Chains A and B, each alone.
Chain A
Amino acid sequence: MFKKNNILFSILFSILFNTNFTLVTTAATAADVDNNREQLLNVLDEELKEVSRLSKHSGHNDPNILLRMAELYLEKARITRDKENEIIFKSESASRSKVNRKEIYKGSYELFQKAQKTATYIVHKHKNFDKRGEVYYIMAFNAKEFNENDKAKKYFKLAITSSQDGTKTNNKANLALAELFMNDEDYREAKNVYEKSLTDKNDKWWTKDAYNLAYAYYKLGDYNRSISLLKEVFKLSSSSAYINMSKSVLNILAVVCSDADRIDEAISFYEAQKQDISRYLIKIAKNIMEKGQSTKAEKALDNGFKVVKSDEERVKILILYLELYNKFERYEKHLDVVKRLKDYDQKNIVKLDSDTIETIISQSQKMSSTLQKQLISPTYAHDESGRAQRGEMVLEYFSVLAYFKKTKEYEYQFFKAETYYALGKYDLALNEYIKAFDGASEAKHDKFKNLSIEGIISIINNKNFSGENRDKYLTAAYERYLSTEGKSQKAKENRNKIFQRLYNLYFKEKKLKDAEALLLKYKKEFPQEGKVQETMLGMLMEKYDKEKMNSDFMRMALLIQNGEFGNVSEGYKKEVEQYLLTLKFKEVETHHQKGEKDQALVGYLKIYNDKNNTETARKNAAYNLAILQHEKTNVLESYKWAITSSKMMNSDEIKKFETSFTVIVAELFNRLYLSEAAKLSEHIFHKLCFKGVNSQKINVFYKNAILVYLADNRIDEALLLVKKSDQCNIPPRYIKETGMELLKSLTRLKRYDTFEGLIKYLDNGSYIPYLIKAYADLRDAYLKSARFDEAKNAETKMLKYYFDSKKRSENIELEDLDEIAKIFIARLNEKAEEFKKIALSYPEEQYNKTLKLKLAKLDELTKEGNAILETGSGTGILHSYKILSECYARLANEIETFIPPGKSPEYIESFKNTMTKVSIPLKNRANDFSRDGRKLIMDNNILSDNNMFFQFTQKNRDQNHDVPGSYYEAGILMDRRGSK
């Protein structure tokens, strides 16, 4: 009843045909796009569901509905494809190639297949379907999706033939086909199709298709039409009703205009559109350049350059100039552009991007390389100005390259140097070599470093190298040269020379510090070159001195002092030292001389405390302090400084000042600073105890030290000193003296082990008779320890020394003699005992025998006594006299008192009378001995235990002393005054 169904129908089918699917996103995020896509897919699924329903209702026999279904499948397939593409794009580029594209594109592929299947079904099943055109259209698009362009074309053509002209399907198929022709660059066919199909200017895609047509016109050489259409497309693109192709137009119009020789028109157009003209001019220029029309291209760029307003645009055009001049090898102009670009960058007017910089670098390298070759080629060998010009250009290129390749600046500096060298500008070349060297060193690029050095050397050695800056360059050159290593002999020789040359240069330039540093380096590298070092040192020290650079002078002097310059001559060292010392002491000594002791003290103290001063100076200062303090009677201070200074002195120096030290020691001793005196003495002694020193006073220090130690009961220290005596050439006298003292001390302290050791030490087997007493003491100690053998040995030693002395007619000390005498006395005593043991006995034969024996014994006794007598030991002699006297007297007495037993009185009387002849001489002899003994005592003032025997054994009628001798067995007579 109502025609509402028609209305519905028209509504519904107005939505069926929509083959241009464009997802337009503005500032949407990826998430928005994804979301949108998902929603679209959902909508499409709903659509498919509805269409499937409809199809089912119609028994799947309605081709319109099937067509719609195919379209939906196609639409869904394309959106799914978008989604799948994004999955690929979102994956890491590295893993992109490994992606299973088949799997990823499975979804869209199936949908395309469904669309294709549905469409194929329609055309087969409904051969008379009036919309077969649309079906073929779908099939064509499917084929396009699978890049089956030939198939796509075939189906588009079928779509065209199956649809009426002017219908949407027909138009769209035509346009799609035209696009395929465009892709195949079959512009004629594309043009034909576009011209036929571009009828509906109200279609929003008109601009896009018209653009293609314009492009086809261009490609076919129909520039006028192309330009006109492009402008129209541009105009319509401003409306939201059309697809905006303005950018594409802008991009291509320039090129078309340039081909059509209508560049001005293009410029006007872009200006009118307030576009970045430079960008399009670049296009124009590139286009012209590709055709090899350099002049035209240049002109286009010139025009553009005039027109552009901003520096950025100018730079873009300059870059194009670069390309142009590079291509056509216009060196001067190319260089000019390069320099201008560099200026822009350097002055921060426009910062060039990395691509531009890369272009500049590569082109500059190429250009400079070409120019360099020209420079050295025979062609320009006689063309000075040509060479000069090329050289300049090369240098400028290198400057530019150095700027842009800052990390490789040194390379270009080297190349510049080479260029300057080729041009004979050695000073400039040297300067560049130096820069290159520095840069290469910093970059640790040994190759260029070495090359630069070689360059430097070649210039240095070049006779033609001259110029006012020569020295300045030379200095830098030498410095660089020396900073490298040279292992070969030749290199070493060179280096040696250059060290010296540089040194001289430094002096010339008054760079003393540099000179000093160089000197030290030289010394390290050429330690054996003492003479050179000495010369250098001399120059330097002199300069320091002249310039009153005292601290610097001192520093150097110190180095010399410390042996840093080991190979300079000793003379020089001494000279320096002396001078140093002189310097140091000059002022102070003035005070000293004036008697300003305190000031002098301060001065010396200052010198000493200044660690920068040489050892010598300080040593001298310390010594002087010791002297000064001594003079000021500050004994301990004097001691302190004496010790200090003596520690700093060597043996020869000690020897030199030994007298002073002796005085100080004496003062110490006098002031009872025994320990200090001993220490100082010992210290000095040790110092002097060196072979070759030959000190006169060493003995003094030796003896003083020992004696003081002994006095201080520091036996061991004394002992050490004694033991060192033979190393120090101490005369035997001193050794003996001190040894004896030490022995005494040891004896006193009963340190017999040490005593024994000392004796053994002292007894070096040579003639040391003064040890007799010591051995006697040792013997006694052995005896006390029941070490009889050792005691015997000791006694043997004693006797040996005694007899040796006798042989040599040497004097032996009384106490030594006494000891020897004691030995003899012991023997005497022994013999006396033996004598005493022999008793006269009768019979007569026996009597005679024993008497004879006794007399013989007595004779032995007497010999023994004589031996003792020979010793000269008073106490010994006395003792022997006593024994002898006693024995003689005893025998006399025994004879006198012997009554032969069993004999008659007559016999006895006769016997007695006869014996009286024997006894009386014996008695007299005894008396002689007594008398001699007495006389000995009186003459020699001998005090011994036997004195009493001689003085009181019988009345001494000569003296009229009447003292009962029995009271005192051992004693001496003294008068009241204490005299004997």
Chain B
Amino acid sequence: MFYFKNKLSDKAILIIMFIFAFTFTKTWARSNIDGVSELMENGLYFSSWPIVREDLKRNNLRSETADFVLSQVIFKMGAKHIESILSDDKNFKTNGLPSLKYIWAKILFKKGQYEAAIKIIRSMPEDSSIRALSYLIEGSALVFIDRPEEAFDIFADCINKSNKSLSRAKTKSEKRILEVNKDYCLVGAARILFSQKQFVSAYLAYLDLSKESYIWPEILLEEAWNSYYLRDFNRTLGKLVTYHAPFLRGVFYPEAEVLLALTYLRMCLWGDVKRVVDEFYSNFEDSFEQVKKYMSSVDGNHQHFYKLAIQKLQGKYLENRTLDKIIDSIVHENAFNEMRISLEEGENEENLVGNNNSKVAAGVNPNNIRKYLSFSLNEHRRLMGEYVLDKVKKKLKELDKAFKDMSYIKLEVLAHEKKKLYAFDERTARERGDVKFLKRNEKQYFWTFNGEFWADELGDYVFALGSECE
């Protein structure tokens, strides 16, 4: 692992990297994509990336091999590497390589240019190795432009394609990416149904996602929302309480707490609402303020956030509760895990570079390989740090919003309390929790909750609280 010993700014690092790159380009002036492909065949993805990068920047990559290489970069290193280059380069819009099209479509999607994104994706050849991934973008874009029926089909194609691609996948990361892609396509249908307020169908569709899926923790929240809209509040509560399982301790969705409060609100369990709200504030308000102040001093410092992530992976508790929770959740996220795995694999290339010089592509100086590897790894770490920072900001926004939401929910409760006080009426206390309030469907069984979280039961917990609304 390479760490910058001195704390240099990102810009400085980029300059250094540029110098390297410049140096490298002089060296690589005459290298070709075949060489890169060979490197990749030898498992040297990170090591070959700088070369690819240069070509990419010069828009030199036009062949199938180039497409293959790019697809490998996507699978092995993550699309971010390419995205970071392409985001500003409009020239690459005209490059017909499917991988680049995929990246470009992703960029357009993120910018909200859904139709453009669809158009690009549809221009991709079906047999493209990256096609499976593009289905997800296409399907999602179709949803956003309100063409759910088409989206259904695309998602179905996505699942098929992902399965096929999975059978051909060689590396762990590639498999992972494809699985995740498949799962997102799978829940895409559920999401469409949800957006169409077909909550029952959406509910059933969500159940198709295996609990072993990498994306299941975040989908659990969607399921909870779905149950909420189904007014199956007890099930909502059950799903939300799953987040308290040790298995999901690293998961932090402020929205889940809000949903929890909202669900209690819907059930007119004012005391529980207030409890959730007060706990939420109690747990995060002060530390949140501290984090906000802290962020002003560390904003932009990707390295710092990369370090925090690594510390968290090593099990260290960050002093600020909120930050600790956020970082912990980030490092448990699928995207970060993918990056982490990629990094691990990238770091393993060191061994490959050291051990097998003969496998190095012709025309490639082995010493330069190490430099390339180092460059790529650093770049990857930077991207990881960037990701973490970006996510921290998002989480903080989420939290901020959650605070507001919680306040509004509490105000709702207070309004009800006030209304009651104004009416000066006494309510009789009712017993809480009764099985009769439980609703089941054919895909679920009922187990009584005995205080333990069983993995196969996760997500299936259902509260048996009676609504106290009158």
* Chain A contact residues, CB within 8 Å of chain B: 2, 4-5, 8-9, 11-12, 15, 18, 21-26, 28, 32, 36, 39-40, 43-44, 46-47, 50-51, 53-54, 57, 68
Contact = CB atoms under 8 A, between A and B. Distances in A.
Contact of B424 (A26, A47, A57): A26
A23 B425 CA distance: 11
Interface stretch (B85-93, B321-329, B415-423, B448-456): B415-423
B77 to A, nearest CB: 28
Interface string B404-419: 1101111110110110
B412 A24 contact: no
How many chain B residues sit at the interface, stated as a range, is 20 to 34
B422 A22 contact: yes
Given A2-B225, A43-B418, A12 B424 contact: no
Contacts of A68: 411
Q: Which 5 A-B pairs have the closest CB atoms?
A: A15-B415, A12-B408, A50-B407, A47-B414, A40-B421
Contacts of B409: 8, 12
Contact of A43 (B412, B414, B423): B414
A46 B423 CA distance: 19
B414 A11 contact: no
24 contacts: A5-B405, A8-B405, A8-B408, A8-B409, A9-B408, A11-B412, A12-B411, A15-B415, A21-B422, A24-B422, A24-B423, A36-B421, A40-B421, A43-B414, A43-B421, A44-B418, A46-B410, A46-B414, A47-B411, A47-B414, A50-B411, A53-B403, A54-B407, A57-B403
B379 interface: no
Contacts of A50: 407, 410-411, 414
A54 B225 CA distance: 24
Contacts of B405: 5, 8
B51 interface: no
B277 to A, nearest CB: 8
A57 B404 contact: yes
Which residue of B403, B414, B417, B422 has the most chain A CB atoms within 10 A of its CB atom? B414
A23 B422 contact: yes
B262 interface: yes
Given A43-B414, A50-B414, A54-B404, A36 B225 contact: no
B381 to A, nearest CB: 30
A23 B408 CA distance: 25
Given A44-B418, A51-B411, A24 B404 contact: no
B400 interface: yes
A22 B424 CA distance: 10
Judged by DSSP, the binding face of A is helix
A759 B422 CA distance: 127
Contacts of A36: 421, 424
Nearest to B401: A5
A43 B417 contact: yes
Contact of B421 (A15, A39, A54): A39
A11 B268 CA distance: 13
Contact of B412 (A15, A21, A23, A28): A15
Nearest to A53: B407
Judged by DSSP, the binding face of B is helix
Which residue of B405, B410, B423 has the most chain A CB atoms within 10 A of its CB atom? B410
Contacts of B281: 53
A47 B412 CA distance: 9
A12 B412 contact: yes
A4 B225 contact: yes
A40 B281 CA distance: 23
A32 B418 CA distance: 15
A28 B425 CA distance: 10
Contacts of A22: 422
Contacts of B225: 2, 4
A43 B414 CA distance: 6
A23 B281 CA distance: 32
Contacts of A9: 408
Which residue of A4, A18, A32 has the most chain B CB atoms within 10 A of its CB atom? A4
Nearest to B421: A40
A8 B262 contact: yes
Given A22-B422, A43-B418, 12 more contacts: A5-B405, A8-B409, A9-B408, A15-B411, A15-B412, A23-B422, A28-B424, A32-B424, A43-B421, A47-B414, A50-B414, A57-B400
A54 B418 CA distance: 19
A44 B408 CA distance: 14
Contacts of B417: 39, 43
Interface in B414-449: 414-415, 417-418, 421-424
B229 to A, nearest CB: 9
B420 to A, nearest CB: 9
Interface string B157-172: 0000000000000000
A21 B408 CA distance: 21
Nearest to B265: A11
A68 B404 CA distance: 14
Contacts of B400: 57
B270 to A, nearest CB: 11
A5 B408 CA distance: 11
A25 to B, nearest CB: 6
Contacts of A2: 225
Nearest to B418: A43
A525 B421 CA distance: 85
A8 B411 CA distance: 11
A4 B262 CA distance: 10
A22 B411 CA distance: 20
A24 B405 CA distance: 32
B408 A11 contact: yes
Nearest to B400: A57
B71 to A, nearest CB: 29
Contacts of B407: 50-51, 53-54, 57
Contacts of A32: 424
A701 to B, nearest CB: 114
B41 to A, nearest CB: 41
Interface string B222-262: 00010000000000000000000000000000000000001
Contacts of A23: 422, 424
Contacts of B408: 8-9, 11-12, 54
A147 B418 CA distance: 27
A28 B405 CA distance: 36
Nearest to A38: B421
A46 B409 CA distance: 12
Nearest to B278: A46
Contacts of B403: 53, 57
Nearest to A54: B407
Which residue of A15, A25, A36 has the most chain B CB atoms within 10 A of its CB atom? A15
A247 to B, nearest CB: 20
Contacts of A44: 418
Contacts of A25: 424
B47 to A, nearest CB: 39
Contacts of A46: 410, 414
Nearest to B225: A2
A21 B414 CA distance: 15
Interface string B270-301: 00000000000100000000000000000000
Nearest to A26: B424
A9 B414 CA distance: 16
Nearest to A50: B407
Contacts of A28: 424
B422 A40 contact: yes
B411 A24 contact: no
B467 to A, nearest CB: 16
Nearest to A33: B424
Contacts of B414: 43, 46-47, 50
A53 B225 CA distance: 26
Contacts of B424: 23-26, 28, 32, 36
Contacts of A21: 422
A25 B421 CA distance: 10
Nearest to A24: B424
Nearest to A39: B421
A733 to B, nearest CB: 127
